[in-house]
Chain A
Amino acid sequence: EIVLTQSPGTLSLSPGERATLSCRASQSVTSNYLAWYQQKPGQAPRLLIYGATSRATGIPDRFSGSGSGTDFTLTISRLEPEDFVVYYCQQYGSVPRTFGQGTKVEIK
């Protein structure tokens, strides 16, 4: 099983700042099949990034994904008020399709 470790657990930033979220895999993710999701309180998650770098439909271009192998990053170039929520990474290249434990982005 591939274990995904997200860091930091909580990220304290101000609106307008740049956010860098990390997702590290215990072994190489097949074909860089790595996705990022955003979850707002009381809502289902929403797909942001798939294939490590591709933005999903309707996702603002301030969200970008990078990385390969075992190290992946979600970058939010300039934080908007609605971005202060929880983010999860998931690998779907092997079974079981594991999620990271999440990173909460909070207002500083």
Chain B
Amino acid sequence: EEQLVESGGGVVQPGGSLRLSCVASGFTFSSYSMNWVRQAPGKGLEWVSYISSSSGTIYYADSVKGRFTISRDNAKKSLHLQMTSLRDEDTAVYYCARGFMGAIGAWGQGALVAVSS
């Protein structure tokens, strides 16, 4: 069974840092591009970042550029999102999401990040 399991969420003060991780199983992780997508409480979906299968291509949303860093370790079948200078508006459920033909074909269960003083 294909699975994506996020970890590392929690409560952090404004200006703080947090690192999200996602471990994949049930498929050949190294063959797929990956994304992070977030959803603020009661709101819609917001694409955050993309990384190609080999890490050769990386994209960010303007709202997180310069503050968030996406990375992956294909040997460990893991995806990461290093988040710094966190703001109130970064509060959301963060989904680890696997690419499929450019779209998003599989999603994790999500990790809640709450930025609050």
Q: Which A residues fall within an 8 A CB radius of B?
A: 1, 33, 35, 37, 39, 44-47, 50-51, 54, 56, 88, 90, 92-93, 95-102
B105: interface (CB < 8 Å):
yes
* B113 CB to nearest A CB, Å: 16
B107 interface neighbour in A46, A88, A90, A96, Cβ under 8 Å: A46
Q: How many A-B residue pairs have CB under 8 A?
A: 62
Residues 33-48 of B contacting A (Cβ, < 8 Å): 35, 44-47
B108: interface (CB < 8 Å):
yes
B59: interface (CB < 8 Å):
yes
Q: Is A88 touching B62 in the complex (CB atoms < 8 A)?
A: no
* B58 CB to nearest A CB, Å: 10
Cβ–Cβ < 8 Å partners of A54 in chain B: 101
Q: Roughly how many angstroms separate A102 CA and B35 CA in the complex, as a whole number? A: 20
